[in-house]
């Protein structure tokens, strides 16, 4: 295991490299926070993919890319005279200490659930108590992650199902409402009911300690793997997918399934 000194030296080297790149590389020199934004989002998704795949080597690489972006933003902030990397680190240091009174203060907690509840309570007291419970949910989050995050936040202040099994009544209710709307032609209402159903399914996943985004992405990857198997087998036989019957494709699907 590396020493604290070695870790700090590695971080210092990254800061030195960033300084040199910003001064001497034409591409790095012209970047702005705005131009980096989409690249940062892409790197974050690449890290998420590596985590789903349990690829530790790739996780290491992607974490490095994200760390580079953090240092890059801090460098630009320093050039603007707004903040530097020390400000960034000190801000999160102080936030962590303030929001963990059970570690750095004298508050007692009974378990992880109470830690989360305390965290949300403390956050609402910030900004002179004007911060709303859902203010910290980024508007640009993907819809499923946003739904899960909102539900998690309101749960922390007690707005939640008393019995997790009751959520299935809500899911069933939403399915029934969709079926009723499908008999009409109001697409907006149908869309709204599908949204309500998805929101309630996300809620169910949360209540059973399942990350819905992760669960769906694992299913996406599974579907892609099995469908690619069908397509590759069709190609080996000199056929296109359109030339195959559904029965033939189903058979190959089951073959792919059996190989997992």
Domain locations in the chain as residue ranges:
4-98, 137-211, 214-258
Question: Which of the following CATH numbers is that of domain 137-211: 1.10.287.1080, 1.20.810.10, 3.20.20.330, 1.10.10.10?
Answer: 1.10.287.1080
- pLDDT tens for residues 15-64? 999 999 999 999 999 999 999 999 999 999 999 999 999 999 999 999 99
Between CA 117 and CA 127, with CA 122 as vertex, the angle to 5 degrees is: 145
Query: Can you count the helices (H) and strands (E) in the chain?
Result: 12, 0
pLDDT at residue 129 in the model? 63
Mean pLDDT for 109-122 is 76
The answer to whether domain 4-98 and domain 137-211 are alike in fold is yes
Whether domain 4-98 has CATH 1.10.287.1080: the reply is yes
Which pLDDT belongs to residue 130?
66
Mean pLDDT of 175-196: 94
Percentage, residues of the chain above pLDDT 70 = 97
Gap between the Cα atoms of 122 and 137, Å rounded: 16
- The C-alpha atoms of residue 36 and residue 27 are separated, in whole angstroms, by 11
* Local confidence band at 128 (pLDDT 50, 70, 90 cut-offs): low
**pTM over the 0.85 mark:** no
Is the model more confident about 260 or about 181?
181
Q: Which residues contact 22 (CB under 8 A, 6 or more apart)?
A: 28, 29, 75, 79
- The full DSSP string for 193-247 is HHHHHHHHHHHHHHHTT--HHHHHHHHHHHHHHHHHHHHHHHHHTT--GGGS-HH
């Amino acid at each position: 295991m590396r020493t604290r000194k070695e870790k700090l030296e590695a971080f210092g080297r990254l800061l030195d490299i960033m300084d040199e790149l910003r001064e001497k590389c034409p591409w790095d020199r012209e970047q702005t926070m705005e131009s980096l934004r989409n690249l940062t989002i892409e790197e974050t998704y690449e890290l998420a993919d590596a985590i789903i795949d349990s690829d530790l080597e790739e996780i290491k690489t992607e974490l490095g890319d994200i760390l580079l972006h953090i240092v890059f933003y801090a460098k630009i902030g320093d050039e603007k005279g707004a903040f530097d990397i020390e400000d960034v680190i000190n801000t999160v240091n102080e936030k962590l200490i303030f929001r963990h009174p059970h570690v750095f203060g004298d508050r007692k907690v009974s378990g992880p659930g109470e830690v989360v509840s305390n965290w949300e309570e403390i956050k609402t007291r910030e900004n002179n108590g004007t911060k709303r419970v859902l203010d910290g949910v980024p508007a640009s989050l993907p819809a499923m992650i946003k739904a899960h995050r909102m539900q998690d936040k309101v749960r922390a202040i007690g707005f939640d199902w008393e019995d997790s099994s009751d959520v299935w009544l809500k899911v069933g209710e939403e399915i029934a409402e969709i079926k009723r709307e499908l008999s009409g032609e109001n697409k907006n209402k149908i869309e709204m009911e599908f949204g309500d159903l998805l929101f309630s399914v996300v809620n169910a996943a949360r209540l059973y300690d399942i990350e819905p985004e992760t669960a769906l992405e694992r299913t996406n990857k599974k579907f892609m793997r099995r469908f690619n198997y069908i397509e590759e087998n069709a190609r080996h036989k000199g056929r296109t997918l359109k030339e195959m019957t559904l029965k033939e494709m189903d058979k190959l699907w089951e073959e792919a399934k059996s190989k997992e």
